[in-house]
Amino acid sequence: MPNLEHPAYPAADLLHLESLVPCRESQVSTLLSIFGERQQFSFPSIFIYGHTSSGKTYVMQSLLTTLQLPHVFVNCVEYFTSRLLLEEILIQLQSCSSGAEPSSPVHCDTLNDFVRLFKQAVASQELQDQTLYIVLDRAEQLREMEANILPAFLRLQELTDRNVTVVLLSEIVWELFRPSVGCFEPFTMYFPDYSIGKLIFSSAFQGLYNTLSEDVQKFIPGLSAALNFAKYCEPVVRGEANERDTRKLWKNIEPHLKKAMQTVYLREISSSQWERLQHDGGEPGQLKGLSAHTHVELPYYSKFLLIAAYLASYNPVRTDKRFFLKHHGKIRKTNFMKKHEKTSNHLLGPKPFPLDRLLAILYSIVDNRVAPTANIFSQITSLVTLQLLSMVGQNDQLDGPRYKCTVSLDFIRAIAR
Amino acid sequence: AHEFRSASSDSEDTELRFVTCQSLWSQIKSETEQIQEDLNKQLLDNLVSFLSRSHSDFQEKTTEWTCRMKFREIPTAALVLGVNVTDHDLTFRGLSDVLQDNITPYVALLEAKDCPGIKNLMQKLMGQLMNCDIDVDSLEDEDCVQVSQNRIRCSMSSLISWYESVTKKIDSETPSKKRNSSSRHWQSPPVVVIFKDMESFTTKVLQDFIVISSQHIHELPLVLIFGIATSPMIIHRLLPHSVSSLLCIELFQSLSCKEHLSTIIDKLLLTSQFPFKLGGKVLQVLINIFLYHDFSVQNFIKGFQLCIVEHFYSQPLSVLCCHLVDIKKRVYSLSHDQCENIRRLPSFRRYVEKQESGKQIELLTNDSFLKEETEKLLEDLHVYHENYVSILRCLHVFTSSLPKYPLGKQIRELHCACLENRVWETEEYESSLQLARMLNKTDLVTMLQQCVEILMSSSGKEFDRAVEKLKEFLTQFQNLEGASQERDVSISPHKELQKKTDLYHLQKTLLELKESRRSKKLTKFEMLRFEVVDYIDSLVRRYLVPADDRTLHEIVYFNAAAVLRGHLNAAPRTALHTALNNPHWYLKNQALKCDGGGISNKAPDICIVYKLHLECGRLINLVDWLEAFSTVVMAAEEPNANAASSDQVDDIIHARFIRAVSELELLGFIKPSKQKTDHVARLTWGGC
């Protein structure tokens, strides 16, 4: 009972495709019906979105390659400027069909050039009778390029007057793309998230490493599942369980997976270290994770500077006198306090403070006299480069720089000890 | 060399001093480099093994599924180096050298300041990688052309094609050369990218780079090394999970900088290898800068270098600060002026005063006699150093195991204490001796053994007796063991006796016991322990005399701590304040000398304006300021004229005032304010 049916493509290919894209049959068949037959003009642009790791890229790739449709696949993160992107498309286009032909370096600075060169390329490769697909992965990056890039890609079919369809893949919805001046509306399509049951069932049923690798890897972005798959299959291999018995299989793997999730998933230890551990049968407790090394050793005055910065960031200015002066006079009653000030300052986050306040607090919390030497000032700057403090506002040192303390209370506690 | 020559007259052996200084520094430099190399060896070895492991899969071209899975991950080494950022450069340079020798020719070092965007990062990366390629096979001119062409297109794909072409080229080279290269590198060596300062990179750049390169990890075996100054948690703070899951991170930790410093001090200062020594105060300054300010070993060594240069520059007699073998020659070639210099040394004067009158006259008048004497004294000084170091180490063995460390945990603290003054006169020494008298036997024995080892290994000749004495103590301790068992037996019948007696007798015996305990002789062990401690004390008193008490110590000890502090721990704000508040300090003009708070009108305009501004609050009214300024300036000139044109300020004074105020603005004391018209805001507070 093949779900995928299309008169234009051989049934064997479709069957193979179906096996490659579990749980995505409906989306694929929609796409196929939009694509139509090879020579038919398709919708000018298609916009596919869905959450992270819902198989957008994978489905597109397997669809285009199994059916041997002429296509160009470009990741917009990788080609971060419009020029690189356009040139990359042309290069792939050249090598797409003509294969070994030595391609001269392409120069394409503007979209105008691109349209011209694109027409040439298509004409030279006898692709006129087939629809050419240009897939732009991570299309949200297009918004950061020149303003004309995105609208132009959306109506590339019209601009070039060739049989071409642009497919945009993204994690965000089309509404966030639409430029203010308006543009051609693409056909939008949503890829829903995989459900766990579907996933486990399909993968266990088919037992195909290949599909699983892509799906599971994305489903659990850490490698835990992949690393654990051998364990997962263990009962099947031993004949204790039947492949369909997902519950039993899950039970078997659960404690193992949990341990892995706590360590590898959070990148506490690397996957290869994990593997070695598994191999040796040791406990992950032996290896110290990344977060075990939170303590930072700082020079004496840097510690005090950081503490002073913390105090300056989280205490309101008017309490300074009370906290840091020996003869501060009477403490006024607190019922004058406005209501919003009762919320903890820690919830509000650090506030910026001027350099002079930092130094004043420093002088009062350090026991002996501190000379305002160049070393102290350079320490402040190096704390900024270490991202323990951050500079607020303009970078003009002469203009009374303001800082913020970016470390947490726990960190300060550890330092103050 | 110029400064040396021009600054001091020729009679003071400037040339020779300069040469000595240079050779000494080069010795010390090579020594420190050696030490640092040794210290980093462990870390580098670990890294190298990690790198060679990381892409072994790539070599074997395995197609197994788990391997391919893991393959999406970029092997990453997180290198935690500590907050002493200034030292990192050296470590990274060492690292890249080691990598280029052992693993791969393709190493790129990236700094955050060069990479504000992903584009710059790629440019920098490709530039470094492709240039190193030219270095490897320097013959082809084609490569240069290619590089310039490629520079136009900085993308990962061109990097990959470059990598493929390079590795292919190595494959197709002549067999002999191939073997040569593959012995050092493999056929497809990994490309190592080092991010020197992970903290300063912007998140976006890092994320994009990692995402891109993980796409191509199949074609380009990439390894990342993150240089981390704070804690590895920064990775989680900089990278979202979707990105960090593309990395396969292993952690490497470098030696803590405090340990590093201890080793440096141990090897550089606590040896008799180098003739040059640091005085107590100077060492304290250097160590304080290290501990209080920067944790930078590099800066410590720079400070040490400065001490050397300063010493040889300012002390004419430093020509004698050389190795023992050269002393004789140098002493006898001293000029008359130099002899006078020796006679002027305070420590030498003290020495002369202690001598009998005949010898005093000889010393003060006869140059050749003086030279002989000097040579002897210098040799004494040298011997003193050798002994000093060994005894210091022995004392450290004792003090470092005492509770609460009255004399400090580190040997450097002990060293400072000993240099500063007579250590045996301090309270801390007293208390530590008291504590030492309460040590138990096993500790004491191990300490004595350590001391014996130290003394045996030292080159001093006088220690034969000390070693013998200590060994004697050791054997006595061993003999004690047998004796103490006997005593235990003898005590027990005594106790039994107590049990049988009635109340009266018990009371009596108890009293007796109390008496006897008071007057009781110490046990043998206690006696021996006292002896040992006393002996150590005597050694300390004999050998750990502070250097200031030694004759001619000025020649080898550098003691100008104030100079050093001025150079290394500058206080710009204070200096500026002094200059403006008390111009006499720098200008040395008698007319400017003023007493306390008054404002002299002879001072430069800016000083007057500065002093006036000190009296103001956060916002300064320009009109009032001008008024005050003109009052001060006019005060001395013509009291009567002042009254006549009281509300009309002179144009010239007005101009002077405006110039002074803009100078202050340039110096960063004030800035124009928008809160109030005709007001400027103060940017500083208080006196400095």
Domain boundaries, chain A: 11-193, 197-292, 300-325+347-416
- What is the separation of C-alpha B315 from the centre of its chain, rounded to a whole number of angstroms? 24
Architecture per CATH, A300-325+347-416: Orthogonal Bundle (1.10)
Say which of A226, A293, A373 has its CB closest to residue B569. A373
Span B78-106, pLDDT tens digits: 888 877 777 888 888 888 888 888 777 78
A85-99, B438-452, B486-500: which range is least confident on average?
B486-500
Which of A89, A91, A269, A375 to mutate against chain B (most B CBs within 10 Å)?
A375
Query: Going by C-beta distance under 8 Å and a sequence separation of 6 or more, which residues neighbour residue B457?
Result: none
For all residues of chain B together, what is the average pLDDT? Answer: 76
- Whether residue B233 and residue A294 make contact (CB cut-off 8 A), yes or no, is yes
**What is the chain B residue with the closest CA to A217?**
B69
The Cα of A283 is separated from the nearest Cα of chain B by a number of Å equal to 17
Task: Please return the burial class of B480, using the count of CB atoms within 10 Å of its CB with bins 0-12, 13-18 and 19+.
Answer: middle
- A321 vs B688, more confident: A321
- Whether residue A291 and residue B232 make contact (CB cut-off 8 A), yes or no, is yes
- B501 vs A74, more confident: A74
- Whether residue A213 and residue B69 make contact (CB cut-off 8 A), yes or no, is yes
- Whether residue B69 and residue A302 make contact (CB cut-off 8 A), yes or no, is no
Mean pLDDT throughout A302-318? 86
User: How are beta strands B557-558 and B277-278 bridged, if at all?
Assistant: parallel
Percent of chain B with pLDDT over 70: 79
- B57 vs B590, more confident: B590
B222-226, B335-339, B488-492, B566-570: which range is least confident on average?
B488-492
Going by pLDDT thresholds of 50, 70 and 90, the confidence category of residue A277 is: low
CA distance B253 to B248: 17
Q: Is B400 helix (H, G, I), strand (E, B) or coil?
A: coil
Going by pLDDT thresholds of 50, 70 and 90, the confidence category of residue A398 is: low
Mean pLDDT throughout B319-345? 83
Supply the pLDDT for residue B134: 47
Which ipTM value was assigned to this complex?
Answer: 0.77
Q: Could you identify the residue written with the tokens 């400070």?
A: B303
Supply the pLDDT for residue B120: 81
Span B202-229, pLDDT tens digits: 888 888 888 888 877 777 778 888 888 8
Q: Domain B572-638+645-682's class?
A: mainly alpha
Supply the pLDDT for residue B149: 45
Token pair listed for B299: 């800066």
Supply the pLDDT for residue B521: 58
Supply the pLDDT for residue B501: 52
Supply the pLDDT for residue B659: 92
Which residues of chain A make contact with B562, given a CB cutoff of 8 A? none
CATH superfamily of B39-58+67-132+188-255: P-loop containing nucleotide triphosphate hydrolases (3.40.50.300)
Percent of chain A with pLDDT over 70: 63
A145-159, A277-291, B153-167, B504-518: which range is least confident on average?
A277-291
Supply the pLDDT for residue B406: 77
- What is the separation of C-alpha B650 from the centre of its chain, rounded to a whole number of angstroms? 57
Q: Domain spanning A11-193 has what CATH number?
A: 3.40.50.300
Span B355-364, pLDDT tens digits: 888 888 888 8
Mean pLDDT throughout A172-197? 78
- Whether residue A293 and residue B253 make contact (CB cut-off 8 A), yes or no, is yes
The Cα of A1 is separated from the nearest Cα of chain B by a number of Å equal to 30
Residue B421 has pLDDT above 50, yes or no: yes
By the 8 A CB rule, do A387 and B199 touch?
yes
Token pair listed for B363: 């010393």
Rounded to whole angstroms, the maximal C-alpha distance in chain B is 115
By the 8 A CB rule, do A45 and A167 touch?
yes
Q: Which of A331-340, B166-175, B247-256, B634-643 has the highest mean pLDDT?
A: B247-256
Supply the pLDDT for residue B546: 81
How many pairs of residues across A and B have Cβ atoms under 8 Å apart? 172
Residue A130 has pLDDT above 60, yes or no: yes
- B13-22 long-range Cβ contacts below 8 angstroms, 24+ apart: B13/B316, B13/B319, B13/B334, B13/B335, B13/B338, B16/B319, B16/B330, B17/B312, B17/B313, B17/B316, B17/B318, B17/B319, B18/B312, B20/B312, B20/B318, B20/B319, B20/B321, B20/B322, B21/B308, B21/B309, B21/B312, B21/B313, B21/B318
- Whether residue A379 and residue B294 make contact (CB cut-off 8 A), yes or no, is yes
- Whether residue B248 and residue A272 make contact (CB cut-off 8 A), yes or no, is yes
Residue B434 has pLDDT above 80, yes or no: yes
Supply the pLDDT for residue A97: 58
In a 13 Å sphere around the CA of A4, the CA atoms on its Cβ side amount to: 27
Supply the pLDDT for residue A251: 61
Supply the pLDDT for residue B490: 43
Going by pLDDT thresholds of 50, 70 and 90, the confidence category of residue A213 is: very low
Percent of chain B with pLDDT over 90: 0
pTM of the model: 0.76
- Residue range(s) occupied by CATH 1.10.10 in chain B: 572-638+645-682
Span A65-105, pLDDT tens digits: 888 888 888 888 878 788 888 888 888 887 765 554 545 66
Supply the pLDDT for residue B164: 79
A146-150, A339-343, B187-191: which range is least confident on average?
A339-343
For B587, other C-beta atoms within 10 Å of its C-beta total: 14
Mean pLDDT throughout B573-597? 76
Residue A286 has pLDDT above 80, yes or no: no
For all residues of chain A together, what is the average pLDDT? Answer: 72
Say which of B70, B156, B230 has its CB closest to residue A388. B230
Token pair listed for A166: 């642009």
Span B107-160, pLDDT tens digits: 888 888 888 888 888 888 888 887 755 444 443 444 444 444 444 556 677 777
Which residues of chain A make contact with B149, given a CB cutoff of 8 A? 105
Sheet holding B191-195, edge to edge: B107-110, B191-195, B222-228, B74-80, B247-253
Mean pLDDT throughout B153-178? 64
The Cα of B249 is separated from the nearest Cα of chain A by a number of Å equal to 5
Q: Is A75 helix (H, G, I), strand (E, B) or coil?
A: strand
By the 8 A CB rule, do B200 and B92 touch?
no
- Whether residue B295 and residue A298 make contact (CB cut-off 8 A), yes or no, is yes
CA distances from A79 to A141, A152, A266, B119, B216 (A): 9, 17, 29, 10, 13
The residue type at A44: P
The Cα of A119 is separated from the nearest Cα of chain B by a number of Å equal to 23
Span B258-304, pLDDT tens digits: 888 888 888 888 877 888 888 888 888 888 888 888 888 888 888 88
Mean pLDDT throughout A248-253? 59
Mean pLDDT throughout B64-87? 68
Residue A376 has pLDDT above 50, yes or no: yes
Residue A353 has pLDDT above 70, yes or no: yes
- Residue range(s) occupied by CATH 3.40.50.300 in chain B: 39-58+67-132+188-255
Helices B346-354 and B357-365: crossing angle in degrees, nearest 10, is 150
Nearest to B244 by CA among B88, B55, B78, B67: B78
Which letter, b or e, does each residue of A187-218 get, where b requires 16 or more Cβ atoms within 10 Å of its Cβ? bebebeebeeeebbbbbbeeeebebbbbbbbb
- A128 vs A80, more confident: A80
- Whether residue A78 and residue B156 make contact (CB cut-off 8 A), yes or no, is yes
- Whether residue A77 and residue B208 make contact (CB cut-off 8 A), yes or no, is yes
